[in-house]
Amino acid sequence: MENFWLWFSMGLQHITDLGGYDHILFVTLLSISYTFSSWKKLVVMITAFTLGHSISLALSIIGDLNINAALIEFLIALSIFLTAIYHLWTKENSNAKWIYLIVVMFGLIHGTGFSYLLKAMLGKEEAVAFPLLYFNLGLEAGQLLIVLVVLSLNFGMSYIKAIPFPIYKMVVVSVIGIVALKMCVERVTVLM
């Protein structure tokens, strides 16, 4: 059980660490259009993201998935920027099935980013299945914490009449989009 808490807490700390805010920004964007009453749709969206990053974590740890870390970091920033643009472009949540496929693909990218840290922490350890599972469970718990915070903020903002919810959403998405664009520019220079 001690091993569980060690890896679980590492996953939880990794996703909630403000130094790694890119993942927090992405989960915030996934959650920004939802309310507590539409939590089922949000769970499907978050599960699609989880599926993607769980697959890439497993492939990179168990297999030998080795992609340029600088490229992955750029793609993570790009996925955040594209998600922000999507939110600014569309008025309502799309029920299109292709949205889930895109979120799974973005999850693959984000999971590959997590995998570099996890590989370093595992070192030469032979038994990786349980640490991988526990780390991923910690990531998901942190992700759900972020979702809960965003839904709570959304709930609170829906009752403030001075700031209409669409304006609140546009401001949050725009700020995240600007931060993501800055990250893209910084990270693309590393690739050159």
Q: Which of 45, 184, 158, 149 is nearest to 104 (CA)?
A: 45
The pTM of the full predicted model, rounded to 2 decimals, is 0.88
- How much is the average pLDDT of 55-73? 82
In eight-state DSSP terms, residue 159 is T
Mean pLDDT score of the chain: 86
Q: Residue 189 is encoded by which pair of tokens?
A: 């220079």
Lowest mean pLDDT among 63-77, 88-102, 178-192: 88-102
Kindly report the CATH number assigned to the domain that includes residue 60: 1.20.1250
Determine the pLDDT at residue 157: 86
Q: What pLDDT, in 10s, does the model give residues 73-130?
A: 999 999 999 999 998 988 666 666 778 888 899 988 988 887 777 777 777 666 778 8
pLDDT at 163 exceeding the cut of 80: yes
Q: Which of 101, 11, 125 is nearest to 57 (CA)?
A: 11
Q: Helices 129-158 and 39-62 meet at what angle, rounded to 10?
A: 150
Do 57 and 136 contact (CB within 8 A), yes or no? yes
Determine the pLDDT at residue 126: 66
Determine the pLDDT at residue 93: 61
Do 58 and 133 contact (CB within 8 A), yes or no? no
Print the domain residue range for 135.
2-14+23-191
Separation CA 27–CA 183 (nearest Å): 16
Query: Looking at the 3D structure of the chain, how many domains does it have?
Result: 1
Mean pLDDT highest for which of 98-112, 130-144, 169-183?
A: 169-183
Determine the pLDDT at residue 92: 66
In eight-state DSSP terms, residue 187 is H
Residues whose CB is less than 8 angstroms from the CB of residue 66 and which lie 6 or more positions away in sequence, other chains included: 60
Going from the C-alpha of 134 to that of each of 5, 33, 47, the distances in angstroms are 8, 29, 17
Is 114 strand, coil or helix?
Answer: helix
Separation CA 20–CA 37 (nearest Å): 30
Do 41 and 103 contact (CB within 8 A), yes or no? no
Q: What pLDDT, in 10s, does the model give residues 15-36?
A: 888 888 998 999 999 999 888 8
Query: With 0-12 CB in 10 A as exposed, 13-18 as middle and 19+ as buried, what is 85?
Result: middle
